[in-house]
Amino acid sequence: DSGSVVPYPSLVAQSESTQRNTSKSGSASTAAMGTSSSSSSSASALIISACDKAGMEGIDRTRVDEIIMRESAGSVYMKQQQKRDQNVNVKIDELKQKLAAKDYSMASINSNATSWRRAGEHALEPIIDELVQSRPRRSTCVVVDMDGFYISCELLSRPPELGNLPCCVGGNMITTSNYVARRYGVRAAMPGWIGDKLVEELSNGKERLIHIPSNFDLYTRKAHIIRGALAEYDPNLRAYSLDEAYLDIGPYVDLRVGRGWSHERVVATLASTSKHSCEDKEHVDEEVGNEEEFIHCNVDISAIAAVVKEMREKVKVATGGLTCSAGLASNFMLAKIASDQNKPNGQKVVGPSHKEVLEFVHPLSVRKVPGIGRVMEKMLNAFDIHIVHDLYKERALVQFLFKPASARFLLRASLGWSNDSLDPSAPEDDEVGSSSSASGQKGISKERTFSAGKSWEELNSKLEDVCRSLSQSMVEKNIKAHTITLKVKLHTFDVITRAKTMPRGIVLQNADQMIVEMTEMLLNVKRQHKGTFSVRLLGVRCSNFQGDEERSQDSGQMDISKFISTCSPIRASHNSLVHSTGTTKMTSRIEKKVDFAQKGAQTDAQVKNTDISSFFSKEKGWNKVEEFETAQVLDSGTNSTHALHSVDPGNVSSVPASR
């Protein structure tokens, strides 16, 4: 922990400056201290969506922001956002204090306040080496992202002239806008009336935003068609959402380009091997034998790109004209980022070499990294970290400032290979007796927003509706849960949650049962909030599913298993690929698929080669690094690095093939 934080004069002053901003945020005065005006002026950046969405380059952001701010001014929602913003400011100040304390203490030891960073960088070297070395060597990861999916689906069946007008899906809340609307700043998650204002004012009254009601059946149908087309290239693709899919086309490319097979022949081969692979590993292993010689032909990257292009064309044809964009890279984080670069209807390739990867990611805003949102962006900015290169440059600082998981994630991001932060909720066909807990889903929930100020009876009625709806879904999916959570959003947008785990032997699925629990809980919440209990949303969530118990109880391997579980199966498969090519043992693509199919991925002991979590685990982690720094600074000893090195392998090699 940060230990005792010494309140230095300058820091106190800075804290106060933040407090002062509470009164009026938005365009409040810039932070008082010269250190690095962290908080205030970027307040709006957190409140307004600062991220440049595809199709919004070069628009008049100041006018857009101005209109949004004007329209939102004084709303309860905006007050809530400002509160959140202030909380982030406080966090930033705390981090700055922590840093100042560190610099101070290290300076007292060494007189050079920044030498600890160099020591930290040194300690990170082996970890970085390991990561860079185990990086996948081919760019066969593809992220396919439909262009303005919902709105494009809608426009498909309407007069083409509509496409030239600003359109969106959604009424009160916009879910997607077309590229014409985006040029007016109209985007997903924006309230409808603000979209209206933007179009009206920025077109000088010449245009109006057209709203089209959403039709999820349509999008779902189209999504299935899309997946069908894509699955020819990777039968094990991951559909992350209706409009996004993650593929590894390595196997396809090897056969199609490497061996010169016809598309049809490749598709047939891939399909036959993949389906069995889910259940019948041994069978697949046998087939692997046949494929032994074929591993990884050196396929030119432009040939891979051509395959992607062809694939996108097939999607377009299959859907009757929907376009998509794609990113092609050596891992899914890069592919995801790349998929956005040439939107709409474009693709981007990132080569696999370390150099190419860094040239691609380092100039990007940190916000482009999937997993870095508005809050993290703001915190990083406060420390003058704006682009990914800064993230790398300041890696020691980052390791010091953030908690292990975040630090680890950020380090990897700075090298262009972060966790993919995708947890595929495996939407596709649920196979035989999948009790759906087998799908890896962790929770299920329903929530409903309504106008605040309902009577107590009305509230309870709403709550019952939500319970029944949730119960129905759980019955359909054959889910039984142990824990139930009530979510209440007050008219102030403050959110309260209350959870209860049922006594042993009692499971939740039945609606009446849930209603009993939830109404009691709601009553308690109401009592705790005497007087002011105006509610705008009620939600119920069930988690802790029955049948998930026996799955994860390998106590000894907490660190590893945790890493693996946060590591998307997709990437797990890549790790194994890399590992196998890195050593002499050749693992075939088929086996890779097996990994891929094992959504739990618990067994993949090979992941160890890229696991850095153990370097940062409780005893051996950053604390160790800190020890090292201290030693380094004190007597410039060097053997601690050694210790850091040797910590891992023994611990890791005993990862059981659990299951």
Partner DNA sequence: TACATACAC
Partner DNA sequence: TATGGTGTATGTA
Identify residues 521-550 at the interface with DNA (CB under 7 A). 536-537, 539, 543-544
Residue 395's contacts (CB-CB under 8 Å, 6 or more residues apart) are: 120, 121, 124, 410, 411, 414
**Which of the residues 66 through 95 are near DNA (CB under 7 A)?**
68, 71-72, 75-78, 84, 87-88, 91
Q: How far is the CB of 120 from DNA (least distance, A)?
A: 17
- Measured from the CB atom, the residue of 196 and 591 that comes closer to DNA is 196
- Mask of contacts with DNA, 363-402, x by CB under 7 A? ------xxxxxxxxx------------------------x
**Which of the residues 403 through 422 are near DNA (CB under 7 A)?**
403-406, 421
Decide: 594 and 277 in contact? Cβ < 8 Å: yes
Decide: 292 and 586 in contact? Cβ < 8 Å: yes
251 closest CA partner among 610, 658, 627, 587: 587
Cross-strand bridge partners of residue 328: 142, 349
Please state, in angstroms and rounded to a whole number, the distance separating the CA atoms of residues 377 and 67: 23
- Residue from 566, 641, 651, 658 in contact with DNA (CB under 7 A): 566
**Which of the residues 163 through 182 are near DNA (CB under 7 A)?**
172-173, 175
- Mask of contacts with DNA, 283-322, x by CB under 7 A? ----------------------------------------
Q: How far is the CB of 485 from DNA (least distance, A)?
A: 7
341 touching DNA, by CB under 7 A: no
CA atoms within 13 A on the CB side of 453: 1
Query: Would you say the C-alpha torsion 262, 268, 273, 278 has a positive or negative sign?
Result: positive
- Measured from the CB atom, the residue of 80 and 510 that comes closer to DNA is 80
- Measured from the CB atom, the residue of 266 and 338 that comes closer to DNA is 338
Q: How far is the CB of 265 from DNA (least distance, A)?
A: 33
Please state, in angstroms and rounded to a whole number, the distance separating the CA atoms of residues 580 and 577: 5
The burial of 88, by beta-carbon neighbours within 10 Å (0-12 exposed, 13-18 middle, 19 or more buried), is given as: buried
193 touching DNA, by CB under 7 A: yes
Q: Which residue has the tokens 């933040």?
A: 18
- Measured from the CB atom, the residue of 284 and 518 that comes closer to DNA is 518
Residue 103's contacts (CB-CB under 8 Å, 6 or more residues apart) are: 113, 114, 116
Q: Which amino acid is at 651?
A: N
Q: Which 3 state secondary structure label does DSSP give 143? A: strand
Q: How far is the CB of 496 from DNA (least distance, A)?
A: 5
- Mask of contacts with DNA, 432-471, x by CB under 7 A? --------xxxxxxxxxx----------------------
**Taking the CB of residue 169, how many other CB atoms lie within 10 A of it?**
25
**Which of the residues 608 through 627 are near DNA (CB under 7 A)?**
none
495 touching DNA, by CB under 7 A: yes
Residue 463's contacts (CB-CB under 8 Å, 6 or more residues apart) are: 515, 518, 519, 522, 538, 540
Tokens linked to 146? 């439909």
Q: How far is the CB of 452 from DNA (least distance, A)?
A: 7
Please state, in angstroms and rounded to a whole number, the distance separating the CA atoms of residues 331 and 521: 45
Please state, in angstroms and rounded to a whole number, the distance separating the CA atoms of residues 469 and 418: 37
**Which of the residues 91 through 120 are near DNA (CB under 7 A)?**
91
575 closest CA partner among 244, 234, 237, 248: 248
Q: Which stretch binds DNA (CB under 7 A): 307-315, 428-436, 453-461, 492-500?
A: 492-500
- Measured from the CB atom, the residue of 131 and 242 that comes closer to DNA is 242
- Measured from the CB atom, the residue of 255 and 484 that comes closer to DNA is 484
Q: How far is the CB of 458 from DNA (least distance, A)?
A: 15
Q: How far is the CB of 201 from DNA (least distance, A)?
A: 13
- Mask of contacts with DNA, 472-491, x by CB under 7 A? -x--------xx-x------
Q: How far is the CB of 307 from DNA (least distance, A)?
A: 23
265 touching DNA, by CB under 7 A: no
DSSP for residue 255: I
∠ CA 595-658-624, rounded to 5°: 90
Tokens linked to 481? 């849960």
**Which of the residues 203 through 262 are near DNA (CB under 7 A)?**
240-244
- Residue from 112, 133, 272, 497 in contact with DNA (CB under 7 A): 497
